[in-house]
Structure 1
Amino acid sequence: MFYDEIKKYDWNDTTRCIAAKTARDVEIALGKEHLSIDDFMALISPAGAAYIEPMAQLSQRYTQERFGKTISMYIPLYITNSCTNSCVYCGFNHNNPFKRTILTMEQIEQECKAIRNLGPFENLLIVTGENPAKAGVDYLEKALQTCRPYFNNLTIEVQPMKSDDYYRLTKSGLNGVVCFQETYNEANYKKYHPAGMKSIY
């Protein structure tokens, strides 16, 4: 489990290790094909700032080796801004005083048609707030089924779910999941996520 792995590292010790990296450490890391965590710390250290251009060149090389010269474009479709969380950085914050909307399947289909009229978008990112009681797995399943005829690739950015739920959604056309972790500093996490399901680190 990832949580068990990250608990092996002390945030303050890691921060000190990163700050102590030298230009030589960065150069050693840049010369390796396979990097360790220690090498990664060197690259993101203050000493690494002077090596942004060599890092960018390596990044470009590795990206083109793996993916070629392609750019994948997606378009987002916000199907609900209803949310039970109070994340301090988010416009969907439950405490923000505005009208919440949960699109019907008919409205979602209208949006799909409008997006198709914009051009050759094939990658759709379906976005919601976190409100599983009103826009949970059943709702997402129907939304995916509604969107599937219009797009080749469907990705969701929604509340975290159980593995079985993700698997169920793949049966309705789900191709990918976007999930953000705004900070791995557990001590600070609660400051940014004071209430709601997302407050559980």
Structure 2
Amino acid sequence: MITVTEEAVKSWMHNVIKREQYEKFMEGGKDFINDEEIWEKLKENSKPEPSKVRDIIAKALSLERLEPDETATLLNVEDKELWQEIFEAAGKIKEKVYGKRIVTFAPLYVSNYCVNDCEYCGYRISNKHIKRKQLTEEELKAEVEALVKQGHKRLIMVYGEHPSSDARFIAKTLEITYGIKIEGGEIRRVNVNAAPMSIEDLELLRDIGIGTYQVFQETYHHETYKRLHKGIKADYHWRLYSLHRAMEAGVDDVAIGALFGLYDWRFEVMGLLYHAIDLEKRFGGVGPHTISFPRLEPAVGTPFYEKNKKYIVSDEDFMKLVAVIRLSVPYTGMILTAREPKEVREKVLPLGVTQLDFGTNIGVGAYSKGAYSPEKQQFLINDERSLDEGIRWLAEKGLITSFCTAGYRCGRTGNYFMDIAKKGKVHKLCMPNAILTFKEYLLDYASEETRKVGEKLIEKELESLDPKIKGIIQDYLKRIEKGERDLYV
């Protein structure tokens, strides 16, 4: 149990927001989300001609980011055949940029203490049904060890907004996580989902080795945002410009997202596009490293979901919004989480998804105990497949699971990554290393059934490599079989 006095919490909250750090990015006191303009564009581009839609699809296939009017056009498509063309284009774009590889990760919730009171969130301070928990150093080590033993190499570590889990606490947890080694297994990349921070705090995390910094705006609609959020999070602009501050602080991989179900899904897709555009405008063409599109889910002690279903997104519309995001920002990674049931992930995977989580348990402290703890969770999980089951499922679809983090350690982040992504070269650099990390998993962690499927897939993918690199990878694979690890080109 964390004990922080009410006075200390209030004092901390009073000093968190530094308005001068976001006001400089605003123009005429206004942010880059113009609610009226978004609705005007959606209205002006209604009932589009098929030829116009196909021209936009062709532009996206050339890996050029769409403009707001073009994305609004796609969002207004009603013809089922045109939607099928959009879906097919989304899959082609993903393969063109990222190839037949899927990155996997695990979310690790470190603390569910929070000072905010967001109506839809299980962590909100007024929720008396949630069991509050923050991992101690020993508990964190146990959680990381449990994940490493599954075969994970990447984590997204999640923290509530509270003085007990400030930037210094986050930095300490990153240090601990990176320091854990178990029989050749280790976490090689730690991304962070946490509250908006100051430039000074972000510089601290940059120096400690933060991976991608992830902050979701939740909803881009100003009035809805204001109505649903209380506490520090009520400041729309502090949150909206959190990733601008990160980029200014030198954290050059940032991730955006919206929580679909709080407002009209078409508006939120437009908001994500405007967010990507403004980041690119401000930081030399470097936009978000990934985009996430979670749907609102029920949570313990949180009646919001049952009482507010006006904007709940259907499975059909979910497929549409994912495909439109893929076409709108064709070179950016896209994350589909275990919030979604297996059947939905099956349908959405071909629409441009690049990252998935498996073996997910978001109760604080739940991995090491092997326990399901809904009273410690922010929301409910719907795909409970293990990492091994997920990898076998992907392999049967001809997709290599990548645990590779070599790109980050070789400096392929920020502008470098965005440049190769926009040129459709990510898979050429990353597939060889994906094969090597996949081989590690098959040898160290996979079930016999998964290993058989995976080995066949490796043989197939080797044939598609450039002859110059193929020989090197074959040699590395032999070295991995003899016990070497973490080989990459």
Equivalent position amino acid for 1:137 in 2: A
SS at the partner of 1:73?
strand
Q: 2:48 aligns with which of 18, 22, 35?
A: 22
State how far apart, in whole Å, the 2-side matches of 1:139 and 1:26 are: 49
State how far apart, in whole Å, the 2-side matches of 1:94 and 1:14 are: 38
Q: Percent identity over the alignment?
A: 26
Indicate how the Cα distance of structure 1 residues 48 and 95 shifts in structure 2: closer, same or farther if over 3 A, else same: farther
Deviation digits for residues 12-44 of structure 1, max 9, x if unmatched? 4244235x2424342332233443221111111
Equivalent position amino acid for 1:59 in 2: A
For the 8 Å contact 1:23–1:48, the answer to whether it is kept is: no
1:134 correspondence with 2:188: no
Indicate how the Cα distance of structure 1 residues 56 and 46 shifts in structure 2: closer, same or farther if over 3 A, else same: closer
Partner in structure 2 of residue 200 of structure 1: 235
Partner in structure 1 of residue 176 of structure 2: 146
Indicate how the Cα distance of structure 1 residues 123 and 49 shifts in structure 2: closer, same or farther if over 3 A, else same: farther
Coordinate RMSD, CA, aligned = 2.1
State how far apart, in whole Å, the 1-side matches of 2:225 and 2:74 are: 25
Deviation digits for residues 59-90 of structure 1, max 9, x if unmatched? 22221222121111110111100011111111
SS at the partner of 1:107?
helix
Partner in structure 2 of residue 76 of structure 1: 107
Partner in structure 1 of residue 192 of structure 2: 156
Equivalent position amino acid for 1:199 in 2: A
For the 8 Å contact 1:85–1:93, the answer to whether it is kept is: yes
SS at the partner of 1:126?
strand
Deviation digits for residues 131-182 of structure 1, max 9, x if unmatched? 1x11101100100001113310100111111233223112222111121111
Indicate how the Cα distance of structure 1 residues 139 and 46 shifts in structure 2: closer, same or farther if over 3 A, else same: same
1:6 correspondence with 2:33: yes
1:104 correspondence with 2:136: yes
Deviation digits for residues 81-138 of structure 1, max 9, x if unmatched? 00111111111111111331111112111111111112x211111011111x111011
Which structure 2 segments of 5+ residues have no match? 1-24, 180-185, 237-489
Partner in structure 1 of residue 155 of structure 2: 124
Aligned length: 197
Equivalent position amino acid for 1:105 in 2: E
Indicate how the Cα distance of structure 1 residues 101 and 49 shifts in structure 2: closer, same or farther if over 3 A, else same: farther
Partner in structure 1 of residue 435 of structure 2: none
Partner in structure 2 of residue 45 of structure 1: 76
Q: 2:213 aligns with which of 177, 181, 190?
A: 177
Partner in structure 1 of residue 226 of structure 2: 190
Which structure 1 segments of 5+ residues have no match? none
| Runs of 4+ displaced beyond 6 Å | none
TM-score, scaled to structure 2: 0.38
Q: How far did 1:49 drift? A: 5.8
For the 8 Å contact 2:110–2:157, the answer to whether it is kept is: yes
- 184-193 vs 24-33, which moves further: 24-33
Equivalent position amino acid for 2:89 in 1: L
